[in-house]
C-alpha cells in the first residue's frame, strides 16, 4: 500500500491533466499528512531486582491510645459547647447542668453506711435513703467516689455513670419490697433468669467443623471453636453440679449438628429455680447484672459463689486461682474472640463491648463481696 501523501499527489496530478485550471488551483495545497521525523522507539532498561514489595500495612494503634484520643476529642467537644453557650447573651444553666454539692463523704449509721452530698443523702429511685450494709464499707466508698467524679446532677440520670449506685439501689429496693410482703420483683427476676438458662452462652456449642469447608481451610487455629467451648465450659459446669447444685445434670443446649435449642431437664430447672428463690437481695441483684452482661446464668452463678460473702464456706482458702472477671468475660465472649482473631476487630465496637462486660461484672463482684 502506498503512503497517503503519494496518493494525494497522484490524485492532484490526474486532475490537472484533465482540467488544467483545477490543477493550477490544487497544486499549492498539496502537502504530506505528517511532517514529524520518524524515530525508532528506545526501550528503557529493567532496573528492578527481586520480588515486588509487600502491600502497605496501617500502623496498629494501641487500645490505650485510642481511649486517650477519644477522651481528648470529647473534652474538646465539651469545651466548644460551653464556649458557644457562654457566648449567647442571657443564657443560664439548667438546675441539672450544674453540681449542687461540693463534697461527698460516707457516714456510718446504725443500719450501715450512707453517702452524703454535703448534707443530702443519696436516695434510690423510690426516694428512700440509700443505705449500704455494715459489712460492705468498700461498696459505700465506691459509691461515694462515683458521685465525687460527677460534674453535674444531670450525669446521675444515666446508670452507666453510676453503676455501683444503681446496683446497690436495685438490691435495696428488692429487700424493701420483700420486707413489705411483695415478692413481685423477685419473681420477675427469677423468671427472666430461667429464660437465660434455655439459651445459655456457656452451653451453646458450635457444630463440629467440616475440614473441607473454606472457613476451616482459611483458619490456622489448632483447636476448633467447639473444642475451645467444651474446654472452657467443662470445669465451670463441673463446679456447679458438684458444689452449688449437687446431682444436677446440665446438658449442652445444641446438639452436635443442630441449631435448635433444647431445654434442660425439668428436675434441673426446679433445683436451679429453688436456689434462685433463696438468694438474698444483694446476691440476686448481682446475679441479675452478671447474667445480663454475659447472657449466661451458669457464669453468673459461678461468679457469685466465688465472691459473695454468703458463700464463704464454698470458696477456696487462697491456695489456687480464683474465678474472676477475666475468666467470666473470656468465657462469655469466646465465640466473638474466635471470630475477631480470624477476621479482625471492629474499632469502637468489640473493644467497647469487652470493657463494658468487665465493668458490669466488676460492679456485681463489688456488691456481693464483704469483710465478713
pLDDT at 25: 46
What is the rounded CA–CA span in Å between residue 146 and residue 141? 9
Residue 203: pLDDT band with limits 50, 70, 90: very high
- H runs (alpha helix) in 90-162: 137-149
Mean pLDDT of the chain: 82
pLDDT at 52: 75
pLDDT at 343: 84
All three cell numbers of 63, joined, read 487500645
Q: Which residue has the cell 477519644?
A: 70
What is the rounded CA–CA span in Å between residue 347 and residue 61? 10
DSSP β-bridge partners for residue 115: 106
Diameter of the chain measured on Cα atoms = 133
The mean pLDDT value for 34-43 works out to 80
Top pLDDT among 329 and 94 is at 329
Domains in the chain (CATH in brackets) are 97-176 (3.30.2180.10), 189-368 (1.10.3580.10)
Model confidence pLDDT, tens digit, residues 276-295: 999 999 999 999 999 999 99
pLDDT at 90: 60
Q: Is the pLDDT of residue 18 over 70?
A: no
Rounded to two decimals, the pTM is 0.71
Q: What Cα–Cα distance (Å) separates residue 83 from each residue in 89, 96, 150, 153, 155?
A: 12, 18, 20, 20, 20
Residue 143: pLDDT band with limits 50, 70, 90: very high
Top pLDDT among 186 and 71 is at 186
121: helix, strand or coil: strand
Return the H-helix or E-strand segment holding 359.
Answer: helix 350-368
Q: Is the pLDDT of residue 163 over 70?
A: yes
DSSP letter string, 155-203:
GGGSGGGSHHHHHHHHHHHHHHHHHTT--HHHHHHHHHHHHHHHT-GGG
DSSP β-bridge partners for residue 104: 117
All three cell numbers of 4, joined, read 497517503
Q: Is the pLDDT of residue 94 over 90?
A: no
Residue 337: pLDDT band with limits 50, 70, 90: confident
All three cell numbers of 77, joined, read 467537644
Amino acid at each position: 500500500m502506498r503512503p497517503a501523501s503519494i496518493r494525494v499527489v497522484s490524485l492532484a496530478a490526474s486532475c490537472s491533466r484533465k482540467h488544467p485550471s483545477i490543477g493550477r488551483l490544487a497544486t499549492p495545497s498539496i502537502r504530506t499528512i505528517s511532517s514529524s521525523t520518524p524515530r525508532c522507539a528506545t526501550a528503557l532498561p529493567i532496573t528492578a531486582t527481586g520480588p515486588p514489595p509487600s502491600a502497605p500495612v496501617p500502623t496498629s494503634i494501641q487500645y490505650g491510645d485510642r481511649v486517650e484520643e477519644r477522651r481528648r476529642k470529647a473534652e474538646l467537644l465539651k469545651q466548644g459547647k460551653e464556649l458557644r453557650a457562654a457566648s449567647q447573651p442571657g443564657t443560664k444553666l439548667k438546675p441539672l447542668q450544674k453540681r449542687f454539692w461540693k463534697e461527698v463523704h460516707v457516714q456510718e449509721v446504725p443500719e450501715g453506711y450512707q453517702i452524703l452530698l454535703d448534707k443530702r443523702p443519696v436516695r434510690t429511685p423510690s426516694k428512700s435513703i440509700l443505705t449500704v450494709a455494715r459489712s460492705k464499707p468498700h461498696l459505700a466508698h465506691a459509691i461515694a467516689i462515683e458521685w465525687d467524679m460527677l460534674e453535674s446532677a444531670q450525669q446521675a440520670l444515666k446508670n452507666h455513670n453510676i453503676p455501683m449506685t444503681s446496683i446497690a439501689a436495685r438490691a435495696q429496693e428488692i429487700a424493701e419490697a420483700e420486707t413489705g410482703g411483695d415478692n413481685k420483683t423477685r419473681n420477675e427476676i427469677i423468671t427472666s433468669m430461667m429464660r437465660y438458662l434455655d439459651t445459655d452462652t456457656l452451653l451453646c456449642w458450635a457444630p463440629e467443623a467440616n475440614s473441607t469447608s473454606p472457613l476451616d481451610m482459611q483458619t490456622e487455629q489448632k483447636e476448633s471453636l467447639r473444642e475451645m467451648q467444651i474446654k472452657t465450659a467443662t470445669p465451670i459446669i463441673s463446679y456447679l453440679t458438684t458444689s452449688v447444685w449437687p446431682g444436677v445434670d446440665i446438658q449442652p443446649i445444641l446438639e452436635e449438628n443442630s441449631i435448635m435449642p433444647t431445654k434442660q431437664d425439668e428436675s434441673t430447672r426446679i433445683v436451679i429455680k429453688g436456689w434462685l428463690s433463696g438468694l438474698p437481695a444483694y446476691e440476686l441483684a448481682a446475679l441479675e447484672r452478671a447474667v445480663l452482661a454475659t447472657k449466661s446464668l451458669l457464669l453468673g452463678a459461678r461468679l457469685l459463689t466465688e465472691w459473695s460473702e454468703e458463700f464463704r464456706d464454698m470458696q477456696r482458702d487462697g491456695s489456687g486461682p480464683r474465678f474472676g472477671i477475666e475468666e467470666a468475660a473470656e468465657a462469655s465472649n469466646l465465640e466473638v474472640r474466635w471470630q475477631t482473631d480470624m477476621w479482625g476487630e471492629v474499632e469502637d465496637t468489640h473493644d467497647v463491648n469487652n470493657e463494658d462486660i468487665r465493668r458490669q461484672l466488676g460492679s456485681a463482684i463489688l456488691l456481693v463481696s464483704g469483710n465478713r
